[in-house]
Amino acid sequence: MLPNRYFSLVKKLLFLSLLVLPLASLWADSIELRDGTKVDGKILSVTAETLLMEVQTSPTIREEKSYPRSEVTKMQRATQDDVAYAEVTALTVPSTANHPAVYDAPLERVRAFMTNYAYSKHIPEARKLAAVLESERARVAAGEVKLDGAWVAADASPAESTELGGRVQLAKMKESSDPIAALTSFEIIEKNHITSSAYPESVKVARDSLVKLRTNLLRAQADLDRRNREQEQGLQLASVDRRLQMEQGMAQEKAAVQAQVERAKQSGSKWTPVLLDAKLFADLSTRVESEEARLSKIDIETLAAGATAVNEAQRQLAVGDLTAAKASLEQAREAWPQHVLLASLQESLKKAETEATQNAANTKKEPTRP
């Protein structure tokens, strides 16, 4: 069973990024309209009649908007260090980390800003951000794990490590926009953490990732076909010398792609990056089809019910509700007898029941006061 301190820590989410990161936009320019509305974005052009600005209308969509110059009462254009710092603050403190290398890239960006813009008014905030990243990196290097913004201690048992490792890999799957990266994390879950509570949900995420990968493969195949046609047309129109150069370049490019494929295979993972190679597309498409068929047969509803029962038993044991905990463990055993925490929870329940029996016996032995 994960110690109670784990769950008290999990409840106290340490969203340090919210404490130290200013709520800055990547777009450091701003204007104010006659009605008091303030708009942040990137000023593209200004004329006597209009002001054209690129604004972020959603996390993934940018639009160009035009404002009558007569409606713009204030205009502030960012300095070079403002723009650079806006890019730095776009970096978030990792919410999940089980290896110190996770912090290396953000730290490098922040340190580069402090070196290149030592005069900037943003240096104090940059130092705070660097300090947080360095502190968290040290904690992870010492064995702690950060999971969804919460810190979990390093001294975990093998069962606890399996449970925690599954949750870390699931968090990586959910955070990743790359289906190959998500499926690689799922591969790790199935290899090392298949009995953890994270497994049922990870199967769902993996199914979604397979759908995305299938779409990516179709798009990549269309791009490769178009590229091959263009190259063929170019070869037909080229002179003899030019055709020879083109053929040599195409051969070198193909060899480079093949080298990337071989390096990816050496990692031991069955999921390789989507590179422009027809055989790779065919192999990945076949693998997607077989994985979809395999995962469709997994009864994730029953496994999820078992995981929920395990979580309930943990909570009930923590508050001393032994009768409810015993019932929850029976449900968990029926739904998912292989769950990694079942044995330790059963042991904790027996210990708690023994202590309760002894306490009751001691209470009966105490002499009644006149």
Contact 329, 309 (CB under 8 A): yes
What is the structure's pLDDT at 154?
77
What is the structure's pLDDT at 15?
33
What is the structure's pLDDT at 1?
43
Contact 173, 205 (CB under 8 A): yes
Contact 368, 340 (CB under 8 A): no
What is the structure's pLDDT at 28?
66
Residue of 157, 159, 189, 155 lying closest to 172 (CA atoms): 189
What is the structure's pLDDT at 24?
40
What is the structure's pLDDT at 175?
87
pLDDT in tens, 32-56: 999 999 998 888 988 889 999 998 8
pLDDT, block means (10 residues), the chain with 370 residues: 41 34 54 92 89 80 89 88 82 83 93 93 93 94 82 81 89 92 95 96 97 94 90 89 88 85 80 86 94 97 97 94 96 96 95 92 69
What is the structure's pLDDT at 93?
85
Q: Name the amino acid, one letter, at 171.
A: A
Task: Give CA–CA dist 126/146, Å, rounded.
Answer: 22
What is the structure's pLDDT at 227?
87
Phi-psi region of 174 (alpha: psi -120 to 50; beta: other; left: phi over 0): alpha
For residue 23, count other CB atoms closer than 10 A to its CB. 6
Phi, psi of 64 (to 5 degrees): -95, 130
What is the structure's pLDDT at 109?
92
Q: What is the 3-state secondary structure (H, E, C) of 73-85?
A: EEEECCCHHHHHH
| DSSP secondary structure of 325-347 | HHHHHHHHHHH-TT-TTHHHHHH
pLDDT in tens, 299-338: 999 999 999 999 999 999 999 999 999 999 999 999 999 9
Contact 69, 31 (CB under 8 A): no
